[in-house]
Each structure stands twice: as C-alpha cells, then as structure tokens.
Structure 1
C-alpha cells in the first residue's frame, strides 16, 4: 500500500463538511468547476489533485498550504512527520533492544509526567519550535503533547536516542521519582528476561 495514499485517506476521513467545502474553494484554480461540484469527499478531492499532479508524495507544498488555510495543525504535523519519515528512513535507528527499553521508559514517563513535560523536553535539548508544533497540533491534550514530543525526540536523535539520556533529563529537571520508576521498571524487565 502506498503510504502517501494511506495518509490522504486518513486526512479525508477527518475532514468536516465545512472543511471540505473550504478545500474545494481553495482548489478552484487547480480543478475545473464541474469536477469540483461533483466532489463529495476529501478522498475524491485528493484523487483529482493527484490526477492534476497538484500534490504528490514528493510534492506536498500545495497540500500543506491548504491544511494551513483551514487551520488543521494536527494534519499539518502528520504531513510533516510523513515527509520527515521519508527522509529519515535512510538514517540509522537505535538497535532493537534500545528501542524496547525506550518504549518502556516512555510509558513510565507518560504515566508520571504531567504539566512538567516541556521542562523535560528542554532538558533533552529538544527544540522549542518542535514543541510549539506539537502543542499546536494537540492543543487540549497534555498527554498527547508529551507522547508526540517524545516520539519526535526519538526521530530527531535517531540512533543517539538513549534511555540513559531520558533518565538524566528527568533527574536534571528534578523529576527524580519518575527517574527512579523508570530505572525500577527497566531493572524489573531485565530480571524477567533472564
């Protein structure tokens, strides 16, 4: 399955009728009036845009402009992640064991870190701009902001993302109890696998 088509399909299912109407208005110069009148879903609209070569997996500028115009920051973030993911596939990733440890550490962090998540991300050296994008995409969901920020941090650091960095950052910003819980969980996990 084409990942770009899957992304467009998911965008289509999350559009309201008024957002679809706004997108159709924005596409008047790309798609003929008759075709636009027949469009009843985002999927159909994106299909016409693909036919016209107005959007493509390697050419998302127009799609990004449209999403910005209808103020769908969440979809813009997903599009950006798609583009970065395509670029990052060539980058080295952490080994399987480190990924497993990170997953456990992140679960514990998400259960125990609340409104202090930005302080943690700053301690990890995560760029403020990326945090702002995550907040814009999930404005009323603190947990999702933390989860997405940690995922973005993992992508940003690539193979250099280490659980030790997470624990150090937790301690650096005074979240020692959470750091202890992460270490306990990792220790428990290592004894279970022996």
Structure 2
C-alpha cells in the first residue's frame, strides 16, 4: 500500500521535468520567499522544492503553494497531479476549519483585558464596529465574530488578524498566525481541472499604473464590497498602487476562470476610464 510520504515524493517528481523559461519563471515566483543569491544557485526543480520545504512553505500537508505556482506557469497537468495528491492525502477543508477555530481560541485565551481594549480601538473604523457594538464586545472572540461579519476574517483570510497582533506587539501570536498561513496558504483556491485562471499580471500593471485614487470606483464596479475596500485601505494605508493591486487580486481570486481581460476592459469603459482601456487594448502606446 502506498504511504503518504511516497505519494508526496511521487507528486513532486512530476515537477522534475520543468526546465527552460518555465523553470526560470518558477524561480521568479519564489523571489519573495527565497533570497536572490540562493535562487541563482538553484539548478533544477527538485533543488527548488527542497528549498521551499526547508522554509516550511510546502510539505506533505501543504502542496497548495505548488498548485498555485503551477497554475501561474500554465502547467495544468502538474497542477492536477498535485491536486489529486492533495485530495487524497493532504489537509481537508474540515481540518482547516478546525485548526482555524483552534487558532482563534488560542489567541482569545492568550490576550489580557487591556489588550482586548486596544484591539477594539484599532477596529473602530471597520464596518460594524460602532461605539455601541464595541462596548458590548466582552472577549476577543466577540471581536473575531465582528471581523468575520465585516468579511475581514475567515479561515482563508487572516491578514487582518495578524496585523492586529502586530499592532499590539504580540509577536508570539503573530507567529501562530504565520504558522497557520504557511500550512494552509491563506486565500488560495483549490485547483479544479478544467478551470483555468488567466495570467492578468500585465493588465494589472497597466491599471495600477494609471488608475490612482479612482481604484475604489473601479473596485465597486468589479463587485467588491465596502468591507473589502476598508480592509484594503487599512492594509495599505499610504500606497495607492498597492491598494489598487490588492483590489484586483481579490476580484481575481473570487471570480476564478470568470476573471478575464475582457471583463477588466468592459468594466473600465463602464467607469469611463477609456484611456486605460485603450492602453490595455493597444490602441494607445503607453
């Protein structure tokens, strides 16, 4: 009978044939997690995987980052092999929900009353966190429920939680959130064969370069809600370009194969951002 370890190794071996420009692009996708000098010394896919394992980015219980990378490279057959492994051996949705609940309970139990007051103050500008409602929040679990209702926290989105822990200087609890995110690759979607996600990085670059403070109007047209916009502004308070890019990432993650270049262009025109649409269509040289 095949063991989990051998099944994992076999799934990784399917990536061993990636070479040339695809391998270069794959290394480029890892640049935020692996130092440039280390990346330059990596000669083949198996060495790259080993480096990702050493940094706890991937492992037997978490191949989701590799699935995401293969999809980005257009290597759908490799992504499907990894997805098949994940379905049979890796962590399930119920596992993730249970661990998410344990994470919130651990944080709730670890925080003092004074820290709860600080957290409620930090949340004062979030949707639903009125003065009256904050006054009725007697535990961090109440705050977490409020964040979930404001769409700022769930098992796939824990960045707001981590930011709050950083702001009250509870770096020990930040590490717990980090460990959870590494295990479950927060915000990523499971691979579905036949469902292709377009590479819209060039289109995103054009929009981010030109849209400026109008990104919120555009985001609303793309069906993002006010809680999304509030969260983005809190996450990137002084950087318009990062705010607009984050909104586009959220839109793409939620719409998957329906997130297309054509939708971006038609929505730009609905907002009368015709110059940006013309640049994207090549009618104007940027």
Q: State TM-score, norm by structure 1.
A: 0.54
Q: Secondary structure at the match of 1:84?
A: coil
1:83 aligned residue (180, 186, 189): 186
Matched, 1:177 2:280: no
Q: Does structure 2 retain, via aligned residues, the 8 Å contact 1:93–1:158?
A: no
When residues 164 and 59 of structure 1 are mapped into structure 2, their CA distance, relative to the original with a 3 A threshold, is farther
2:103 aligned residue (60, 64, 87): 60
Matched, 1:3 2:57: yes
Q: How many Å separate the matches in 2 of 1:125 and 1:71?
A: 30
1:90 CA drift (Å): 3.4
Q: Where does residue 259 of structure 2 map in the other structure?
A: 161
Q: Does structure 2 retain, via aligned residues, the 8 Å contact 1:119–1:173?
A: yes
1:172 CA drift (Å): 0.6
Query: Structure 2: 5+ residue runs without aligned partners?
Result: 1-52, 60-98, 108-157, 169-173
1:150 CA drift (Å): 0.7
Matched, 1:134 2:232: yes
Q: Which has the higher helix share?
A: 1
Q: Where does residue 150 of structure 1 map in the other structure?
A: 248
Q: How many Å separate the matches in 1 of 2:102 and 2:57?
A: 14
CA root-mean-square deviation: 3.7
Runs of 4+ in 1 over 3 A off after TM superposition: 56-60, 62-67, 69-72, 90-96
Q: Does structure 2 retain, via aligned residues, the 8 Å contact 1:120–1:170?
A: yes
Query: Structure 1: 5+ residue runs without aligned partners?
Result: 6-55, 189-194
Query: Number of matched residues?
Result: 130
Q: Does structure 2 retain, via aligned residues, the 8 Å contact 1:110–1:147?
A: yes
Q: How many Å separate the matches in 2 of 1:183 and 1:66?
A: 39
Query: Which structure is richer in relative contact order (CA contacts within 8 A, separation 6 or more)?
Result: 1
Q: State TM-score, norm by structure 2.
A: 0.38
1:3 CA drift (Å): 2.7
Q: How many Å separate the matches in 2 of 1:137 and 1:116?
A: 18
Q: Secondary structure at the match of 1:113?
A: helix
